[in-house]
Each structure stands twice: as C-alpha cells, then as structure tokens.
C-alpha cells in the first residue's frame, strides 16, 4: 500500500509540472511524453510568439480549451513555443505557424493534422468528431434539434433500419469528414418534426437555403460529393477563420471578387455574384475579399491589383499548377461572371500573366531588371548565361541577399556572356518558371535547349562566383518540378521585417 501511495504521489507530482495558461497546457520537450501519457487525446499547437496568426488564434484556442474542460471532457489542448522547443518542432515537421496536430490515444508517432476552422466551435466540433463515434444516434426530437441548432452545418441520415445498405454507406461517408457532425434518426417523431416522408439524408446549415436534401444513389462517394458541394455558403468571405475551409477543401477552382465592403453598391454587386454562383455549385468556389482590409493587401498584390482598381474579378486554379485568369470585361453582373466561369470550365480561357512595363534603363545597371515582357528574350538568349533572382519586395531574405547580388552584378557587368538579373515575381509572371518561395535563384545557361538549373549553394559572393565559373555545376542542380503552395491565411505577412510567418526561417526562403 505504501509503495502504491508513493507511486501515485510521484505521478501527481510529475503531471503537476505541466503548467497551464488559460486552460491550455504549456508543453516542452521535457514534459511532452508525460503529457501524452496523462492526456491520451491532446491537440497541440506549435506556435511562434511573433506570429500574427498565432496571436489571432490564441483567444479562440483558449476558449475551446475552456469549453472542453467545463464539459468534463478528457480531451485537452496544449501549445508548444516552436522557436524555443526546436527539437520538438523538427521532430513533427513544423515549417510554418501555427501548425496544429492531434495526438490520439497517447500515440506520438503519427499525429493527425488539424484541418478545420479557427473558431472555438470549429476546434471543439472537430475534436469530438475525431474522438467519438462518426455518427451520433439521435434518440428523440430534442437531440436532433440540438444537433442542428448547435452546428453551422450538420447532417442527419433518416433511416428506419440502421443496418440497411444506405445507412452503412452513410456511416462510411461520415467517417471521412472530420469537421461536420453527423447524426442518424429512425424515430417517427423526428421524421415528422423535419417533414421527412422517406429514408434519406438532409444537410442543415445556417446560411443560404437552410437545408439540402440528398437525391441520388446512396453511396459513400455520392454522399461525400453532396456534403462537399453544400457545406459552404454560395459566397464565402475570405477571413482568418474561413481560410482553412477555403484552401483545405476539394474545390480547387476559386473565383474571387475584390470589393470594399463599405462601397455604396456592395449589396447589389454581392447579389449579382451570388446569383452567378448558383450555377457552379460544387465546381467553383465563389469568394469575396474586402479590398479595404489591410491584411488582404498581399492578396491584391499577388493578383497585380491595387485598392483603387477594385472592384475586380479574378479566377485562380490550385490544381496541378497555380494559374490565374482575368475576365475581359470589368462588369460585375451575373451574366458576365457566368460567361467567364463557363469559358473557364470549357477550357477556353488563356492564363493571365502579369507583367510590368520594361524599364527604360533595365540594362544600364549591373543587375539587369527583368519583367514578364522581356524575360524570354533575355533569359533564353542562346549566347548568354543568365543568373536570375526571383524576389518579392517584402521578403526579408531577399533584402538580406540584395547587397551580395549587387556585388555579383558589378563583378560581371562587363562580361561578354554572363548576365546577372533580377525579377519582381509579385508583379511579373512567366510560363517557364513557377515561383513559390523567395528568393528563388535559377540559372539559364547558353544554348538552344532552354535548360534551367536551380542554385542550391551558399548565398555568398564566393559561392555565386564558383557557380557561374563552373557553368552551373558548383552548387547547382537540375530544376525540379515545383510543388504549388496554397495562398491561405497563414501565408499573409504581418511581421515588421516582411518575412513570411509560414517560412521556417532556416532555409532562407519566404513562402509565397
């Protein structure tokens, strides 16, 4: 008995070492394993103190922790300062902030990436779905009404026989969706309350038409398509909270309307935009962006827009390649938007590539200035070896590189066959190179084969010189296919030095 009491005391003392801030556990490498043992189901946020998105999440994260604690739930929320606990951050592949992972059942090897929104209700709902049954059995009208009332979106399957093939397909679909609660009802009173006359599936939501009834063959695939097509509003505003839903969804074609919310004709234009959206449900996501909001200015810049040029419409696809499209007409009417989207779905649109005008003195400086309009003729000149920095004006790493790049340009300014150049990739786009992080350094050797070599060496004058003198071999590697990076809410820069918050800060790149 004495040994048992001593053991209990030791466990309590060990657990007590885990500090809490506003119901959120504060984890370090020294207590991480202990926390997983004490709390088998735990959501962990890896954050940086300077990260604006982490600061915005903090009150909602704490609120969610408090809600679960008040319910007596065993699920806990925790946080790790990834800038201090670098070993933990590296172990779990943290490259951006915030990174949120769910550790279930005390298992630390393969945590689940958090994939829902950043409101307290989103967090709690996602966690309950991950730890409880995929489908809640609704015993009566009160339970069914509560499920609908407590959720922005909820799905109820009406099945008299819970073992039927349709009910089984419904359960499989529910298991595949983390952020929406699913219920199943068989009682006549629930059928009557929701005016259901036969078995089927209904999605309830607090926006647009309020509910959608599934009509088709009851298969997992069909049900997933139904839910995904109806779970978001016809028009969704881009915000810190909605970004994960926008970019984490299966619909990768997005049409964006940039418009000041304070505009006198805001409601009229929104009505036209929404009317057009009805015809492309489940195929194109219609997104509204308030062009007056400071945090949205980077997005406008990405599309080559200025506040005074709004309202404006743009379309982007995030499929195999990130591609932008610009309508020929600036009119914001249901007819013009429908025509634009129809041409896109039929493959009749050409990608819109931004370009600044060619500066008059573009070749008068040691580092030549490239834009979209002169890139091809300079970079792929068969008689020249061209070394190009693709940069962003706000990029902290680019600013650090600038004086070295200028020295390199000065070193080769009189060379007969070497050109050192730079291009602002936030204002210029080219088909030959897809830029996803800054700075990106690429070498275009002389010749007719349009070869491109990535620079992966040291960012020093000596390193660059060796690279050029070796013809792109010292520090170089053949250009690989880039992976597209989503432009989500985490990638908006709000730090003083212009460095992006989703950059890991170690590889010397700022993400686009």
For the stretch 345-364, pLDDT in tens is: 999 988 888 888 999 999 99
- Is 54 among the residues known to form the active site? yes
Confidence band, pLDDT 50/70/90 cuts, at residue 494: very low
- Is 395 among the residues known to form the active site? yes
Residue pLDDT, tens place only, 150-186: 888 999 999 999 999 999 999 999 988 877 899 999 9
The answer to whether the CB of 149 falls within 8 A of the CB of 271 is: no
- Is 341 among the residues known to form the active site? no
Contacts by 27-32, CB closer than 8 A, 24 or more apart: 27/78, 27/79, 27/80, 27/85, 27/88, 28/80, 28/84, 28/85, 28/88, 29/85, 29/87, 29/88, 32/80, 32/88, 32/108
- The residue with tokens 């009834």 is 213
Confidence band, pLDDT 50/70/90 cuts, at residue 251: confident
Q: How far apart are CA 89 and CA 97, in angstroms?
A: 11
The answer to whether the CB of 48 falls within 8 A of the CB of 97 is: yes
Q: How far apart are CA 70 and CA 86, in angstroms?
A: 32
Confidence band, pLDDT 50/70/90 cuts, at residue 510: low
What superfamily in CATH does domain 20-131 come from?
A: Glutaredoxin (3.40.30.10)
The answer to whether the CB of 363 falls within 8 A of the CB of 411 is: no
The active-site residue, picked from 8, 310, 341, 395, is: 395
**3-class secondary-structure state, position 111:** coil
SS3 of the chain: helix, strand, coil, percent, to 5: 35, 20, 45
How high is the pLDDT of residue 304? 81
Q: How far apart are CA 12 and CA 270, in angstroms?
A: 57
415: CB partners within 8 A, 6+ apart:
none
Residue pLDDT, tens place only, 192-236: 999 999 999 999 999 999 999 999 999 999 999 899 889 889 999
Confidence band, pLDDT 50/70/90 cuts, at residue 421: very high
User: Residue 51: what are its φ and ψ, rounded to 5°?
Assistant: -75, 120
The answer to whether the CB of 263 falls within 8 A of the CB of 212 is: no
The answer to whether the CB of 100 falls within 8 A of the CB of 45 is: yes
Q: Which CATH number fits domain 368-478: 3.40.960.10, 3.40.30.10, 3.40.1160.10, 3.30.390.50?
A: 3.40.30.10
Cα–Cα distance list, 237 to 208, 284, 317, 403 (Å) = 14, 14, 18, 41
- Give Rg (Cα) of the chain: 27
Paired with 314 in beta bridges are 256
126: CB partners within 8 A, 6+ apart:
114, 115, 116, 178, 179
489: CB partners within 8 A, 6+ apart:
53, 238, 239, 240, 242, 243, 244, 247
Mean pLDDT of 81-110: 88
4: left (phi over 0), alpha (psi -120 to 50) or beta: alpha
Query: Average pLDDT over the chain, rounded to whole?
Result: 86
> Within 10 Å of residue 69's Cβ, how many Cβ atoms?
15
Pairing of strands 312-318, 322-325: antiparallel
Q: How far apart are CA 277 and CA 269, in angstroms?
A: 12
The active-site residue, picked from 8, 54, 310, 341, is: 54
Q: How far apart are CA 267 and CA 265, in angstroms?
A: 6
Q: What are 170's two structure tokens?
A: 């419904």
The active-site residue, picked from 8, 310, 341, 398, is: 398
Confidence band, pLDDT 50/70/90 cuts, at residue 332: very high
Confidence band, pLDDT 50/70/90 cuts, at residue 479: low
Architecture of the domain whose range is 136-229: 3-Layer(aba) Sandwich (3.40)
Q: Which residue has the higher pLDDT, 107 or 37?
A: 37
How high is the pLDDT of residue 507? 44
Q: How far apart are CA 363 and CA 480, in angstroms?
A: 29
The string of DSSP letters for 397-431 reads: HHHHHHHHHHHHHHHTTT-SSEEEEEEETTT---S
Cα–Cα distance list, 510 to 245, 262, 317, 501 (Å) = 23, 33, 22, 8
How high is the pLDDT of residue 123? 92
Burial of 343 (0-12, 13-18, 19+ CB in 10 A): middle
**C-alpha count within 13 angstroms, C-beta hemisphere, residue 40:** 5
Instruction: Choose among 304, 306, 317: nearest CA to 428.
Output: 304
2: CB partners within 8 A, 6+ apart:
none
Mean pLDDT of 480-490: 36
Q: Which CATH number fits domain 236-346: 3.40.50.2000, 3.40.30.10, 1.10.10.10, 3.40.50.10490?
A: 3.40.30.10
DSSP state of 470: T
How high is the pLDDT of residue 96? 84
How high is the pLDDT of residue 460? 94
Dihedral sign computed on CA atoms, order 236, 240, 246, 252:
positive
Q: Residue 140 pLDDT more than 90?
A: yes
Going across the sheet that includes 112-113, the strands are 20-21, 24-26, 76-81, 42-47, 99-103, 112-113
**C-alpha count within 13 angstroms, C-beta hemisphere, residue 322:** 17
CATH 3.40.30.10 region(s) of the chain? 20-131, 136-229, 236-346, 368-478
Residue pLDDT, tens place only, 34-73: 999 999 899 999 999 998 889 999 999 999 999 999 999 9
How high is the pLDDT of residue 75? 94
């Amino acid at each position: 008995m004495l040994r048992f009491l001593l053991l209990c005391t030791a466990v309590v003392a060990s657990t007590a070492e885990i500090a809490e801030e506003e119901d959120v556990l504060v984890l370090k490498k020294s207590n991480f394993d202990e926390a997983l043992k004490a709390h088998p189901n735990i959501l962990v946020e890896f954050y940086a103190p300077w990260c604006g998105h982490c600061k915005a999440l903090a009150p909602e994260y704490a609120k969610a922790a408090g809600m679960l604690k008040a319910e007596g739930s065993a699920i806990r929320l925790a946080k790790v300062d990834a800038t201090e606990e670098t070993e933990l951050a590296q172990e779990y592949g943290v490259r951006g902030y915030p990174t949120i992972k769910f550790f279930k059942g005390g298992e630390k090897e393969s945590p689940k990436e958090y994939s829902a929104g950043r409101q307290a209700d989103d967090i709690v709902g996602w966690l309950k779905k991950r730890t409880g049954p995929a489908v809640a059995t609704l015993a009566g009208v009160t339970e069914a009404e509560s499920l609908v009332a407590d959720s922005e979106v909820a799905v109820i399957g009406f099945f008299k026989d819970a073992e039927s093939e349709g009910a089984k397909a419904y359960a499989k679909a529910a298991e595949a969706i983390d952020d929406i609660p699913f219920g199943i009802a068989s009682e006549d009173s629930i059928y009557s309350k929701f005016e259901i006359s036969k078995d089927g599936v209904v999605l309830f939501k607090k926006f647009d038409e309020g509910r959608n009834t599934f009509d088709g063959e009851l298969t997992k695939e069909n049900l997933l398509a139904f839910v995904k097509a109806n779970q978001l509003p016809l028009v969704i505003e881009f915000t810190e909270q909605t970004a994960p839903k926008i970019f984490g969804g299966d619909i990768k074609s997005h049409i964006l309307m940039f418009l000041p919310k304070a505009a006198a004709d805001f409601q009229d234009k929104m009505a036209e935009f929404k009317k057009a959206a009805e015809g492309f449900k489940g195929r194109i996501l219609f997104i509204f962006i308030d062009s007056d909001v400071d945090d949205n200015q980077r997005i406008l810049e990405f599309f080559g827009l200025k506040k005074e040029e709004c309202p404006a419409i743009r379309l982007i696809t995030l499929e195999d390649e990130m591609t932008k499209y610009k309508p020929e007409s600036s009119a914001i009417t249901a007819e013009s938007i429908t025509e634009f989207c129809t041409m896109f779905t039929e493959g009749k649109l050409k990608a819109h590539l931004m370009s600044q005008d060619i500066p008059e003195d573009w070749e008068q400086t040691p580092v030549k200035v490239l834009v979209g309009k002169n890139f091809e003729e300079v970079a792929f000149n068969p008689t020249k070896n061209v070394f190009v920095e693709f940069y962003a004006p706000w990029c902290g790493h680019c600013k650090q590189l600038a004086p070295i790049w200028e020295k390199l340009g000065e070193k080769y300014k009189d060379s007969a066959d070497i050109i050192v150049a730079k291009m602002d990739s936030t204002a210029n786009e080219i088909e030959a190179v897809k830029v996803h992080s800054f700075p990106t350094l690429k070498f275009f050797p002389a010749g007719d084969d349009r070869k491109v070599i990535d620079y992966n060496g040291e960012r020093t004058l000596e390193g660059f010189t060796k690279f050029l003198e070796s013809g792109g071999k010292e520090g170089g590697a053949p250009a690989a296919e880039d992976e597209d990076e989503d432009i989500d809410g985490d990638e908006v820069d709000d730090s003083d030095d212009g460095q992006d918050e989703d950059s890991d800060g170690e590889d010397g790149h700022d993400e686009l």
